[in-house]
Amino acid sequence: MPVQVRPRADYSNLMIIDSHTHIDITLESAPELKDTLFINARENGVAAMVQIAAHVDSYEYSRSLSHSPTPVPVFYTIGMHPGEAHESDTSAGIHFAREHKDDPKFIGIGEIGLEYYYAKEHAQIQKKVFREYLDLAAELGKPVVIHSRDAFEDTLSILESYQNDINILIHCFTGDREQMEEYMKRGFYISFSGILTFKNAKAIQEAALHTPLDKILIETDAPFLAPSPMRGKTNQPAYLWHTFEYLAKLRNLPVDEISLTLVENTLAFYGIPFLP
Ligand SMILES: [Zn+2]
């Protein structure tokens, strides 16, 4: 039996897109989801997923998954997680991306960025790799998905020289209203994860209340950060519903209106012409 997350029948025609998920890592941490992850997603209104390949092992997996007959269409990005940049073959993603640049399912570069919470001692390497992948995005004409943790100032200063040429998304936004406004001044998109629903996430909720509607995306970042009331469980795309509903209530908007807006924003940011 698939999990049922959507609480009300009148939601049944709504669509949402999981703009950032890690299906390979989710199935590694919860192998029992192998047969249900996609069905659960489809049953709960997920119309598409963006599989983020930010590790060398994920590239070929993601490409091949995106071309498999899954119950929900999958697109993918190629990147290098900043927390692993110092111990990875960082050129592999660059080669892979160039080789598959014309694949219609390959829609962005990411996640890339700066991780100072876990790996600040490798900041210099992270910055170098971050710039290499930003150059790659500019070269290929693809948008970028940014991971930035405890690195707001450095992230902004590096992105400054790219912001006129590339679509930029700050994934899993965990800043406050002031940081959100700095991002908006530069034309970035921001994406809210399950953290938005946490009781203690007041600053993030305040930011979400004031973010221009045409700049918001939502994501699971599965298997991490399951939203309330699933907090602590292995996250999966079906649970995006909780984050969506929280945002709709916070903004006091009709669910059909905000679902359409979020889908449009996701398609616009990634440059997806239509859903298969
Ligand atoms: Zn991620």
CB atoms within 10 A of CB 67: 13
Task: Report, at the CATH architecture level, how domain 16-270 is classified.
Answer: Alpha-Beta Barrel (3.20)
How far, in Å, from the CA of 236 to the mean position of ligand 1? 12
Q: Is 21 helix (H, G, I), strand (E, B) or coil?
A: strand
pLDDT exceeds 60 at position 7: no
> What is the mean predicted confidence (pLDDT) over 4-19?
74
How far, in Å, from the CA of 226 to the mean position of ligand 1? 13
How high is the pLDDT of residue 202?
A: 98
How high is the pLDDT of residue 115?
A: 96
How high is the pLDDT of residue 26?
A: 97
pLDDT exceeds 60 at position 9: no
How far, in Å, from the CA of 22 to the mean position of ligand 1? 7
How far, in Å, from the CA of 151 to the mean position of ligand 1? 16
How far, in Å, from the CA of 93 to the mean position of ligand 1? 16
Report which DSSP code applies to 144: E
How far, in Å, from the CA of 49 to the mean position of ligand 1? 13
pLDDT exceeds 60 at position 146: yes
- Tell me the longest C-alpha to C-alpha distance in the chain: 52
> What is the mean predicted confidence (pLDDT) over 192-207?
97
Can you tell me the distance from the alpha carbon of 233 to that of 135, in angstroms, rounded to the nearest whole number? 37
How high is the pLDDT of residue 199?
A: 95
Structure-token pair, residue 16: 């949402």
pLDDT exceeds 70 at position 5: no
Counting Cα atoms < 13 Å in the Cβ hemisphere of 154 gives 17
How high is the pLDDT of residue 275?
A: 79
How far, in Å, from the CA of 193 to the mean position of ligand 1? 10
How far, in Å, from the CA of 224 to the mean position of ligand 1? 8
How far, in Å, from the CA of 196 to the mean position of ligand 1? 15
How far, in Å, from the CA of 5 to the mean position of ligand 1? 22
Q: How does residue 13 score in pLDDT terms, banded at 50, 70 and 90? A: confident
How far, in Å, from the CA of 178 to the mean position of ligand 1? 23
Which residues, other chains included, contact 139 with Cβ-Cβ below 8 Å and sequence gap of 6+? Answer: none
Q: How does residue 3 score in pLDDT terms, banded at 50, 70 and 90? A: low
How far, in Å, from the CA of 121 to the mean position of ligand 1? 21
Q: Apex CA 217: angle with CA 125 and CA 6, to 5°? A: 125
pLDDT exceeds 60 at position 8: no
How far, in Å, from the CA of 219 to the mean position of ligand 1? 9
Can you tell me the distance from the alpha carbon of 74 to that of 66, in angstroms, rounded to the nearest whole number? 5
> What is the mean predicted confidence (pLDDT) over 217-235?
94
Can you tell me the distance from the alpha carbon of 113 to that of 128, in angstroms, rounded to the nearest whole number? 10
pTM above threshold 0.85: yes
Q: Dump pLDDT digits (tens) for 27-57.
A: 999 999 999 999 999 988 999 999 999 999 9
Amino acid occupying residue 137: A
Q: Is the dihedral of CA 118, 109, 245, 227 positive or negative?
A: negative
How far, in Å, from the CA of 29 to the mean position of ligand 1? 15
Q: Dump pLDDT digits (tens) for 91-131.
A: 999 999 999 999 999 999 999 999 999 999 999 999 999 99
How far, in Å, from the CA of 225 to the mean position of ligand 1? 10
Mean pLDDT of the chain: 94
How far, in Å, from the CA of 7 to the mean position of ligand 1? 27
How far, in Å, from the CA of 10 to the mean position of ligand 1? 31
pLDDT over 90 percentage in the chain: 90
